[in-house]
A and B are shown apart, each in its own frame.
Chain A
């Protein structure tokens, strides 16, 4: 056992002897490490979920948005109040080479009423190709087809079915929307819900054929999005470019729309998450810094208290370097123990979140390793001032301290 192992053992003995002081010393490190790991894990879990959804539902799908303007600057997509996209645009896009199908999503106002009124739902007018584009299947019944394009039939999202009727399988049931009766043809399977993702609104949606919606409106209904499925992934950039050209021509040269590739959709959905993660990580770093200052403070007190011991050690042959190492090892040990407690708390928090919420945090070993490295660095950096003070003390002055 080298002298340094002895120092580690001495540090553990000191910590056990002063339990409360040690716990309070390492509190900042514990909070910093635990919060950093939990936040990064949550962020990664959400990102994984979003990426998974994009891959599952929107593979090879270009999303044409109603506006190129992004007032938040965070890439947030929202339902626009004014849209210049039309059903005709969707038809024009469908003719572009490489496009498999082009599906418009018109947003319509009004509350559908069945057994109950669907208060938190939304009505979309679309075409029969929507399930194909979203790669989604129906739980019950069938999606309306080409012949039904002008019929007053509807397909419900999973939550909308429950929100409108007392029966969980309301096939053949009718509901009223804008004084028009619609018959339920099918119910979609539930879209996987993800925090901060717009896909969740499909579960609360009522889908009706575009033809039926147009019959009921005096004006063209605003198109929220046009979902364009491309035949091959390799064609995505070229088709996106062609869509832009086509829409610019039909919109008189005005770029009042946005064309997003699948990767951009995932990116825009996660950008706010990244920002929040960075902010919280900043707070965690401040906590780690405060923890480091706490360690430095307690180590300075420890050095003062143990000045006589330092004198004895120097008198029997300890060099300045050996005394420096002793106190650095002690501060680093405190920091590492704090880090270990933080990791344990973080793992417990992650499992609790998995059990109690739909956040599904993803544990990443590099984050744990980074936490350990940062803790060691904090121990060394903040322990160095007290350690240098101890090492530089003249042996006779240290011995006189009693």
Chain B
């Protein structure tokens, strides 16, 4: 039985000529203990889909069943309760409250559940220990690194012991070390039996997923199962066909061109140091590519 079941779900924003179709009759079924990655270009409807699944937003059309219960037209109080008890959120921009300590932030969902202070702080502390943040309990978010804040946000998402974790680009603001830390943590949580749905632009992160859903223009264009530890096939193909636009990519492109230049001409060039550097970079990139495709 599907934990999450969306049938012909559409979401419209605006009205009249300014109407935008964010989701176009999406059908999606997610079972318990799946680790689902949602990929797609900006504006493809990934976040809208997550918001609807997380009961933060309501579909304009279609039905949404959560735990086999219709939840697409829930009253706000019921939606808040279900959200509190069933779903944990992890955001790209962390969204910890800056005026509360890490411990208080993590304990906040329990406060809304009506749990007493001693119990909720104790439970929040154990949750922070689980994500390796126990020695930062009394720090404020502004005193932590991005990776540490996201770990605290994960602890907050887990503190109510929710069945579903929804993460909207959880590594979007993190460096590679931070991203790895967060994804390893999510992977561990997945092993404990939680269902995780996350949005990412990084094909590398599909290694952690058991299923990858691709979206475009508000529609699911592809849905594939994948083995944990491997980059999803479509994502892998996509990864190397995407036009690179960063400065580093431009420089890599330059060095590629320089490799095509005959050795003699190259030696007479005015920037001899660049050649070595860029060649090395390219070689290293090639190794990485080999590793990835292994």
Q: Which residues does A use to contact B, with CB under 8 Å?
A: 1-3, 6, 10, 13-14, 17, 308-309, 312-322, 394-396, 399, 402
Q: A3-B112, A309-B97, A312-B97 are in contact. Are A317 and B80 (CB under 8 A)?
A: yes
Bound Cα distance from A39 to B113, whole angstroms: 47
Q: Chain A residue with minimal CB distance to B111? A: A3
Residues of B near A318 (CB, < 8 A) are 80, 84, 112
11 interchain pairs (CB within 8 A)?
A: A1-B117, A2-B116, A10-B99, A313-B97, A315-B83, A315-B91, A315-B95, A317-B112, A320-B77, A321-B77, A396-B56
Bound Cα distance from A317 to B108, whole angstroms: 9
Q: Chain A residue with minimal CB distance to B83? A: A317
Bound Cα distance from A18 to B167, whole angstroms: 34
A6 touches B111 (CB 8 A): yes
A314 touches B111 (CB 8 A): no
A317 touches B97 (CB 8 A): no
Bound Cα distance from A246 to B112, whole angstroms: 81
Say if the beta carbon of B211 comes within 8 Å of chain A: no
Residues of A near B93 (CB, < 8 A) are 402
Interface flags for B147-186 (1: CB within 8 Å of A; 0: not) read 0000000001000100000000000000000000000000
Q: A315-B89, A319-B76, A399-B56 are in contact. Are A13 and B112 (CB under 8 A)?
A: no
Q: Pick the contact of B77 from A2, A319, A394 — CB < 8 Å?
A: A319
Residues of A near B134 (CB, < 8 A) are none
8 nearest interchain CB pairs? A317-B84, A1-B117, A319-B80, A396-B57, A3-B111, A317-B112, A316-B109, A396-B56
Q: A3-B112, A399-B56 are in contact. Are A316 and B99 (CB under 8 A)?
A: no
B51 touches A396 (CB 8 A): yes
Residues of B near A317 (CB, < 8 A) are 80-81, 83-85, 109, 112-113, 160
Residues of A near B91 (CB, < 8 A) are 315
Query: What does DSSP make chain A's interface, helix, strand, loop or mixed?
Result: helix
Bound Cα distance from A284 to B260, whole angstroms: 87
Bound Cα distance from A3 to B110, whole angstroms: 10
Bound Cα distance from A3 to B116, whole angstroms: 9
Bound Cα distance from A316 to B56, whole angstroms: 10
Bound Cα distance from A10 to B101, whole angstroms: 12
Of A13, A14, A318, most buried by chain B (CB within 10 Å of CB) is A318
Bound Cα distance from A6 to B114, whole angstroms: 12
Bound Cα distance from A254 to B140, whole angstroms: 88
Smallest beta-carbon distance B208→chain A, Å: 23
Q: Pick the contact of B108 from A17, A316, A395 — CB < 8 Å?
A: A316
A315 touches B111 (CB 8 A): no
Total interface residues on B, CB under 8 Å, equals 27
Bound Cα distance from A17 to B160, whole angstroms: 31
Bound Cα distance from A308 to B99, whole angstroms: 13
B56 touches A315 (CB 8 A): yes
Bound Cα distance from A250 to B57, whole angstroms: 93
Smallest beta-carbon distance B123→chain A, Å: 14
A312 touches B95 (CB 8 A): yes
Q: A315-B89, A315-B95, A317-B112 are in contact. Are A395 and B156 (CB under 8 A)?
A: no
Bound Cα distance from A318 to B84, whole angstroms: 8
B84 touches A316 (CB 8 A): yes
B51 touches A319 (CB 8 A): no
Bound Cα distance from A317 to B115, whole angstroms: 13
Q: A315-B56, A317-B160, A399-B56 are in contact. Are A322 and B112 (CB under 8 A)?
A: yes
Q: Chain A residue with minimal CB distance to B93? A: A402
Residues of A near B160 (CB, < 8 A) are 317
Residues of A near B117 (CB, < 8 A) are 1-2
B112 touches A316 (CB 8 A): yes
Residues of A near B109 (CB, < 8 A) are 316-317
Interface flags for B87-105 (1: CB within 8 Å of A; 0: not) read 0010101010101000000
Bound Cα distance from A402 to B57, whole angstroms: 18
A316 touches B89 (CB 8 A): yes
Smallest beta-carbon distance B39→chain A, Å: 22
Smallest beta-carbon distance A313→chain B, Å: 7
Residues of A near B89 (CB, < 8 A) are 315-316
Residues of A near B80 (CB, < 8 A) are 314, 317-320
Residues of B near A396 (CB, < 8 A) are 51, 56-57
Bound Cα distance from A187 to B114, whole angstroms: 78
Given contacts A2-B117, A314-B80, 20 further A-B contacts (CB under 8 A): A6-B111, A309-B97, A313-B112, A314-B56, A315-B56, A315-B83, A315-B91, A316-B84, A316-B89, A316-B108, A317-B80, A317-B81, A319-B77, A321-B77, A322-B112, A394-B57, A396-B56, A399-B56, A399-B95, A402-B93
